[in-house]
Amino acid sequence: MASVTLPTQREIKGRSLWQDARRRLFANKAAVTSMIVLAVIATMSVVMPNIWPHEYDAVYIDRISCPPPDYLGMTGLFGSQAELCPTAVGEGHLFGTDANGRDLFIRVMLGGRVSLSIGLVATMVALFIGVLYGATAGFLGGRIDNIMMRFVDVMYALPFIFFVIILVVVFGRNFILMFIAIGAVEWLTMARLVRGQTL
């Protein structure tokens, strides 16, 4: 009796959750394009303020409210103001100047820096507090868990703007206040998720 050889089966490799998520992400062209655009904006916000020739607070008296340079031949949109600011084209005011004669491009880039820093730091604060609080509540359980999660419910009931007003009244207006306000509210959802996973 002749022996029959079976065809060798091709080895099947499984995919991890990260590989599956990466494959689906890169299959979405809109998401990839958005990531590239955001990466360019973030890089410009970090790098450009260091190399741009104009300072954010430098006032150019002779260039108040100048439009951006007319690269596309749309002078008619800006009217006579473009004729009053001929120096703006040669001086590198990419977005023009504001009503005080300050360069708008550098101010937009610095605003991007502030937005990035608030987003990153507030997210890290919310992540740290939420994971610690939720894991503690889920691990201890019982009455302590019940009390801790009722506190989260009370915090959820407060409107965000009300919370910010209280912080401004108590601590005054400063830059760090934004980190505290966002981080102090955003951790609530993270705490609930981590508590559920811990349980």
181, pLDDT greater than 80:
no
Which residue do the tokens 């009244």 mark? 169
Mean pLDDT of 150-160: 85
Q: Distance of alpha carbon 33 from its chain centroid, rounded?
A: 17
Contacts of 111 (CB under 8 A, 6+ apart): none
Tell me the average pLDDT across 48-53. Answer: 90
Cα(99)–Cα(192) distance, integer angstroms: 47
Q: What is the pLDDT of residue 87?
A: 54
Q: How far apart are CA 39 and CA 43, in angstroms?
A: 6
What percent of the chain is predicted at pLDDT more than 70? 83
pLDDT reported for residue 95: 84
Q: What whole-number distance in Å separates Cα of residue 175 and Cα of residue 97?
A: 25
Task: Find out whether 126 and 182 touch, Cβ atoms under 8 Å.
Answer: yes
Q: Which is more confident, 50 or 162?
A: 50
Q: How far apart are CA 29 and CA 51, in angstroms?
A: 32
End-to-end distance of the chain based on CA atoms, in angstroms? Answer: 61
Q: Is the predicted pLDDT of residue 43 greater than 90, yes or no?
A: yes
* pTM of the predicted protein model: 0.67
Measured CA to CA, the distance from residue 93 to residue 103 in angstroms comes to 6
The model's pLDDT over 60-107, given as tens digits with 9 standing for 90+, comes to 888 888 877 766 555 555 555 555 565 554 567 888 888 888 989 999
Q: Give the separation between CA 155 and CA 149, rounded to whole angstroms.
A: 10
pLDDT average, residue stretch 3-23: 72
Most confident of 30-34, 75-79, 83-87, 140-144: 30-34
